[in-house]
Amino acid sequence: MAVPAQSELRQRRPPSPKSDPEPADGDERARREEVVWGKTPSGDVFRVPTTHDVLTLFHPSYPKSHFDMLNLAFLGAQLVLFAILPSHVRKPFFLVYFTFWRLAYDVGLGWVLTKQSKKKWIVREVQRLGWLDEKRKPVMRDWIRKQLQDKMGQDYSFDDLPLEYNTWLLFRQVVDIILLNDFLAYCMFAFSCFRVPNGLSVAVHSMRWIGGIAMIGFNLWVKTEAHGVVKDYGWYWGDCFFQRGALVFDGVFELAPHPMYSVGYAGYYGLSLIVGSYPVLFVSLAAHAAQFGFLVGFENPHIERTYGQKKFIAQRTPLKRISSRRGTPSDSSSRPQSISSAGDLAELTTPSATEGETETETEELNTETETEFEANVTKKEIMKKAELTSSSSTSTVTPGLKRTRSLGAADTQHDLMNRYFKQDTIILRNIDLLRASDLKLVLILFYIVICAALPTLSSSATRGLYFFNALLWCLFHSFGLGLLLRAQSERKFLVRHYMKHYHYPQHDTYNNAVVEAFANWKAIYNLSLCMTYTSFGCLAWKTYAIPDDWSVGTELLRHTMGVLLIALHIWATMESFEVLGVFGWFFGDFFIEDFPAQLEYTGIFRYLNNPEIMSVASFFGLALISGSKLVYTLAVIRHLANWWFLRNVENPHMTRLYGESLRKEAGFVKVMKKVAKKNARLLETRAGKHAPEIKRVAREVKGTFDKVYEETAEAVEDFLAKSKPRITEVVQDTKVLLQQSREKLVITRVSNDLSSYDSKKYVVSIASTDSNGGLRFHVGEPIRVRWHAPYNHSRRDWVGIYRVGANESNLVTKTSSLGKWVPVHDDEWDGDVPLHLNKPVIPGEDENGEVVFKGSALPWQTGLYEIRYHHDGKYNVMSMSEPFEIYVHKPDVLDFRSVRASLMRVVPLCLDSDPSLIPVCCHEGQGQMPESTDARDPDDFRFWSERQAKRIAIVIKQIFDVEYAPEVIVADANLSALAHRILVSKKVLSP
C-alpha cells in the first residue's frame, strides 16, 4: 500500500498566547491541534477529517452503519457455519469461500483500483450514477450521508468535503467487508484442517507451536507498525482518490520491501505450522502469490504513476571521475562534442601529436579559459567547424584515414552505454538471426529441445529425421544464404541491416558496420557449411551398413569410387582456397570495396571457372559408399542447389563486378572443345559420303542439347523473374492489408438520435499555414482545425484524421483513426474516456471552436488526408474537410549543411517542440547560440519516450531514404552526429 508523507500538506495551528500547555499533556494537545490538508485532482484543497480504523467495527460504543451490519453478518455466518458443518464438508466449503474473498481482494479490488488510478473510474461512476447528487438521487445521497456521518467524528462535514473524499469513504466500507471476510475465511479453513502430526517428539511439537505463534505475533507487529506509518490514507489507497503528500519509507518499511505484502504474511505460514496441514501451507502459498500479483499488477504501477518522476532519455550528464593525480572528483570533459560544438573548434588546431593523449591529460588541458571560450562560441564559428569536419568525416569511408579528433573517451553514461552495449542478447530478448552468436544460440537451444522432446523412433523414422535435417541445411546453405548474399550484392542488405539497427561512432559508421556485417556473415557461412557437411555425413552414417563380403558384387568398387570422389572434393577445395584465400573463400568482394578488383586465373582456376561445381563430389561419393537412395537423392538436390547458387548469385555478381575482364571459357573447356573439333574433322574425312549425314545428326543433337539447356535456363529465369514482382506485390499487399486491418479493427457504433440534429449546421475547416493558401503541412507540423456546430450538439463530439480513400462512406466512418483524433471539448474527456458530465443544453447561437492536432495525434506519413467531424463519441460523420497534404521537404543537395538544416526543422517537431528536449541551437530568434542551463552540447537533444525517437526515424526514412532503428537515434541524440550518419549511409548505400 502507498506510504504517504504528511509533511507537505500538514500544518499546525499556532498555540494561543493566552494559554500555555502543561508539559505533561503538550504532545497530546499538539496532536489534537494538528491539521492535515488534502488536495483533489482538480486542485481543490480541503481539511482532512479524522478517521477511525477497522477495529471500531467490533467496539460496541461506536455506531454501526448498514455496511458494518452487513459485514458483521458475514463474519458471524462464517462462525456459525464452522460450528455446524461436518468436518468433511467444512474443509472444501471454506476453501471455496476463502478463494472467493481472495479473488475479490486481489482481482476485484486490483481491477477497480487500477481503473481508479488511471481514469478515476470509481469517482466517475459515482458521479455518473448520481449517488451523491442531491437533485438527481436525493434518497441515495441521504442514505450514503447517514452511513458516513455515523462512522466519522465531529470534524466531518459531508456537504463541505469534495466528491473524491466522500467516494473514498464509501469505498472504504466495501474494502472492510472484503478484507475482514478474507482473513476470517482463511482462519476458518486453517482450523478446519487442524491435526496433530504423528511420529513427532514433544520437543518438535513444542518448537512447531512456538515458531508458529512467533510468526503470527511478528505478522501482527508488522501490520500494526505499517498502519501506524501509512494511516488509513495509505491503508485504503487514499492516493487513488486525493493527494496528501509524497512517499516516505520509515519504520517497518525499512525492514523489508513492501512489508505488508512480504513479511506481513508470515502469519499464514505460522498458522500452517500450528495446524500441521500441507493443504493449508499450499493454500497459503497460493494466497501469498496472489497478493504479490496484486502488488505487481496494481500497487507498483500505481506508485510509479503517482509518485514517479519522468526521466529524460539520451540525457548526457558529465560523469564524476577521480583524477589519478589529484585524487579528487572532477567533471569529465573529454567527451567528444558534436561536430558543431565548440570543443571541436579547438581540436582543429591541435597538433597530431596530441591526438593520442590519455584521459587524464585531456582533463588537465581543459583550462578555465577554454571553458569560457566554448561557452561563447558563435553560431557562425560552429557552422564553419561543422563544414570542415563534415568534409573530413565523410572521407572516413576509406580505411586507414586519420580522423580529425580523438574518439577515445566518453564522459557521459549515455555515450559509455552505447559504446559498450549494442542491443545485446539477454536470454532471448533482442535476438537477431543475422548475428552469428544469436543464430548459434537459437540453433543450440533448438537441437537440445528437439533431442529431449523426441520419443524413441524406429530405424526408418530415424533415417527420415536425419534426411530432413540434412535437406534443411542443404537448402539453407544454397538458397537461404544465396538469397542473402544476392541481396547484399544488389543493395547491400546486410550492411544496411547493421547500420539500421546498431549504433556506431559517427566517424566510423561505415567501417564498423561493414566489419561487423562481414564478421557475422563469415561466422554464419562457416556454421552453415559445417552443418551442411556434418548433417549429410550423419545421414550417410545412419544409412550405411558394413558389407558382409567385400568380394561379392560391386561393394569394393563402390567404396573405392566413393573414397576417390571424396578425395577429389578435398583436393579441389584445398586448391580453391589456396587461390582464393580467406577473402575469396568468404565472398569478401560482396562486402569490401577497398580490395583491388582484379582476377587471377592461377592454380585450379586455370582449368575451371567455378571449381565449386566439384564441391558435390563428396556427396556423390558418400552416396556410393552408403548405397542409399536417400543419400543419392540428397546429393542430386545438393548439386542442383549449388548450380542455382553459381548461376543466380555468384555469376551475376562477378559479371557486375569485373565486366568484360571475366573469362568466358576455362582451360579445361578450351582443350575439350579443341579435341572435339579435331576429332570431328578426322571423323569427317574418314566418313566419306556419310560425312554430311553424320554432321547433320551431330548438329541436331548439339542443337537439341543447347535448346534444352537454354529453355530450362529461360524457364528458371522466367519463373524467378515473374516470382520476384509477384512476391514483392504479395509483400506490399500484405503490408496494406495489415495497415487496413489495423484501421478496420473498430466496431462501428452509430447514434440513433440524428433526427434532432441538422448536419448542414456542422462545418469543419482547416486553418492553412501555407503562404500560398494551399492545404499543405510538413510532417509533424501542428494542424489547426476550426469547427462550427449547433448549440445542441453533443459534448462528446470528436474530430479525426483519416487517409483519403480509407473510408468508402461519407456518412459513417468504419475505420479506426489509430489514435489520430481529438475531442471537440477537451475538458470533458480524460484521455479517450468521456466524463459524461451531461451539462445542460442552453438554447442560443451556434457554437464555434478550434482544435489542434499535434504530437501523437498527427499522421507521421506523407500523403493525402481528410478531417471528419463525428457525433456523440460515435462514428456518425456530421462534416468533412477538404483533402489536405502532409509532405516532407527534401534538400536539393545532400551535404552537411543541408542535412543538418533539415534535421533542425524536423527534430523539434518530432520532439513536440518541448524546450527541454530540442537542441539549444534550434531555438528561434537567437542571434547567438543561447547558453544551456544544463550545459548541453548545443546539438544534443533528448526524449521523454522512444516514441519520439521512432518519429525521427520515420521522418528520416521519408526524407533521405535511410532506415535507422529508434535505438540508433537515441544513441546519437545529436544533430550533427545524425547528419554525419545520414551522409555516410547515403554514400555507402548508393549504387
- H/E element holding 767? strand 763-767
Grid cell digits, residue 966:
529508434
Of the listed ranges 139-148, 217-226, 832-841, the least confidently predicted one is: 832-841
- 253-263 pLDDT, tens per residue? 888 888 889 88
Task: Identify whether 369 is part of a domain.
Answer: no
Q: Which residue has the cell 549543411?
A: 897
Neighbouring residues of 404: CB distance < 8 A, sequence distance ≥ 6? 344, 347, 348, 389, 392, 393
Q: What is the DSSP letter of 105?
A: I
Residue 883 near residue 763 (C-beta atoms within 8 A):
no
Radius of gyration of the chain (CA): 40
672 and 615 assigned to the same domain: no
869 and 940 assigned to the same domain: no
Q: What is the DSSP letter of 13?
A: P
Q: What is the DSSP letter of 894?
A: -
- 621-651 pLDDT, tens per residue? 888 888 888 899 999 998 888 888 888 888 7
Q: Hey, which of 342-351, 421-430, 684-693, 730-739 has the most confident mean pLDDT?
A: 421-430
Task: Sort residue 801 into left (φ over 0), alpha (ψ -120 to 50) or beta.
Answer: beta
- 679-701 pLDDT, tens per residue? 656 666 655 555 666 666 666 66
Of the listed ranges 146-160, 167-181, 797-811, the least confidently predicted one is: 146-160
Neighbouring residues of 144: CB distance < 8 A, sequence distance ≥ 6? 131, 132, 166, 170
- 112-134 pLDDT, tens per residue? 999 999 888 899 888 888 898 88
**Cα dihedral 75, 77, 82, 83 in deg (nearest 10):** 120
673 and 645 assigned to the same domain: no
Helix 629-645 to helix 509-543 angle, to the nearest 10 degrees? 160
Q: For the domain that residue 970 is a member of, what is the CATH number?
A: 1.10.1200
Number of domains in the chain: 5
Residue 869 near residue 825 (C-beta atoms within 8 A):
no
- 206-215 pLDDT, tens per residue? 999 999 999 9
DSSP reduced 3-state for 833 = strand
Residue 388 has pLDDT above 70, yes or no: no
Nearest CA among 930, 921, 916 for reference residue 901: 921
Last residue of a domain, one of 664, 682, 697: 664
Q: Write the DSSP string, 133-164.
A: -TTT-HHHHHHHHHHHHHHS-TT--TTTS-HH
What distance in Å separates the CA atoms of residue 399 and residue 988, rounded to the nearest whole number?
A: 13
697 and 640 assigned to the same domain: no
Task: Identify whether 334 is part of a domain.
Answer: no
Neighbouring residues of 86: CB distance < 8 A, sequence distance ≥ 6? none
Of the listed ranges 310-324, 546-560, 689-703, 921-935, the least confidently predicted one is: 921-935
482 and 599 assigned to the same domain: yes
Residue 373 has pLDDT above 50, yes or no: no
Average of pLDDT values for 593-612?
A: 63
DSSP reduced 3-state for 802 = strand
What pLDDT sits at residue 397?
A: 39
Task: Identify whether 433 is part of a domain.
Answer: no
What distance in Å separates the CA atoms of residue 90 and residue 77, rounded to the nearest whole number?
A: 13
Give the number of residues written for the chain. 991
806 and 954 assigned to the same domain: no
Average of pLDDT values for 328-355?
A: 41
To 5 degrees, how large is the angle CA 315–CA 962–CA 588? Answer: 105
What pLDDT sits at residue 281?
A: 93
Residue 472 has pLDDT above 70, yes or no: yes
Q: For the domain that residue 864 is a member of, what is the CATH number?
A: 2.60.40.2840
- 781-823 pLDDT, tens per residue? 999 999 999 888 888 889 999 999 888 888 888 888 888 899 9
Last residue of a domain, one of 307, 330, 351: 307
What distance in Å separates the CA atoms of residue 192 and residue 171, rounded to the nearest whole number?
A: 32
222 and 118 assigned to the same domain: yes
What pLDDT sits at residue 771?
A: 60
Helix 66-84 to helix 163-192 angle, to the nearest 10 degrees? 10
Q: Which residue has the cell 496484486?
A: 294
Q: How far is CA 749 from CA 802, 810, 815, 876, in A?
A: 17, 15, 11, 8
Residue 132 near residue 167 (C-beta atoms within 8 A):
yes
534 and 603 assigned to the same domain: yes
What pLDDT sits at residue 724?
A: 58
Q: What is the mean pLDDT of the chain?
A: 77
Give the pLDDT band (50/70/90) at residue 883. very high
654 and 695 assigned to the same domain: no
Helix 493-501 to helix 975-989 angle, to the nearest 10 degrees? 170
Task: Identify whether 349 is part of a domain.
Answer: no
What distance in Å separates the CA atoms of residue 490 and residue 653, rounded to the nearest whole number?
A: 8
Helix 481-491 to helix 651-658 angle, to the nearest 10 degrees? 20
Residue 180 near residue 173 (C-beta atoms within 8 A):
no
Average of pLDDT values for 972-978?
A: 88
Neighbouring residues of 77: CB distance < 8 A, sequence distance ≥ 6? none
- Percentage of the chain modeled with pLDDT above 90: 20
What distance in Å separates the CA atoms of residue 596 and residue 589, rounded to the nearest whole number?
A: 9
Task: Identify whether 131 is part of a domain.
Answer: yes
Task: Identify whether 425 is part of a domain.
Answer: no
Terminus-to-terminus CA distance in the chain, angstroms?
61
What pLDDT sits at residue 571?
A: 84
Nearest CA among 250, 249, 232 for reference residue 241: 232
Nearest CA among 527, 625, 521, 535 for reference residue 583: 521
What pLDDT sits at residue 808?
A: 84
Q: Write the DSSP string, 855-885.
A: GGGS--S-EEEEEEEESTTS-BEEEEPPPEE
Residue 474 near residue 641 (C-beta atoms within 8 A):
yes
What distance in Å separates the CA atoms of residue 592 and residue 577, rounded to the nearest whole number?
A: 18
Q: What is the DSSP letter of 922?
A: G
Give the pLDDT band (50/70/90) at residue 599. low
**Burial of 37 by CB count in 10 Å (0-12 exposed, 13-18 middle, 19+ buried)?**
middle
550 and 660 assigned to the same domain: yes
Task: Identify whether 731 is part of a domain.
Answer: no
In which order are the strands placed within the sheet that holds 763-767? 763-767, 783-789, 847-853
Residue 322 has pLDDT above 80, yes or no: no
For the entire predicted model, the pTM comes to 0.66
Of the listed ranges 32-46, 289-303, 470-484, 700-714, the least confidently predicted one is: 700-714
Task: Identify whether 150 is part of a domain.
Answer: yes
Neighbouring residues of 446: CB distance < 8 A, sequence distance ≥ 6? none
- Structural domain range at position 652: 462-664
Residue 352 has pLDDT above 60, yes or no: no
Give the pLDDT band (50/70/90) at residue 596. low
CA atoms within 13 A of residue 832's CA, in its CB half-sphere: 8
What pLDDT sits at residue 703?
A: 64
What pLDDT sits at residue 492?
A: 85
78 and 160 assigned to the same domain: yes
Average of pLDDT values for 297-305?
A: 89
What distance in Å separates the CA atoms of residue 612 and residue 235, rounded to the nearest whole number?
A: 76
531 and 672 assigned to the same domain: no
Last residue of a domain, one of 652, 686, 711: 711
Q: Hey, which of 90-94, 567-571, 932-936 has the most confident mean pLDDT?
A: 90-94
Residue 394 has pLDDT above 50, yes or no: no
Q: Which residue has the cell 489509430?
A: 818
Give the pLDDT band (50/70/90) at residue 219. very high
Grid cell digits, residue 811:
456518412
Residue 81 has pLDDT above 90, yes or no: yes
Average of pLDDT values for 132-140?
A: 88
Residue 513 has pLDDT above 90, yes or no: no
Neighbouring residues of 107: CB distance < 8 A, sequence distance ≥ 6? 290
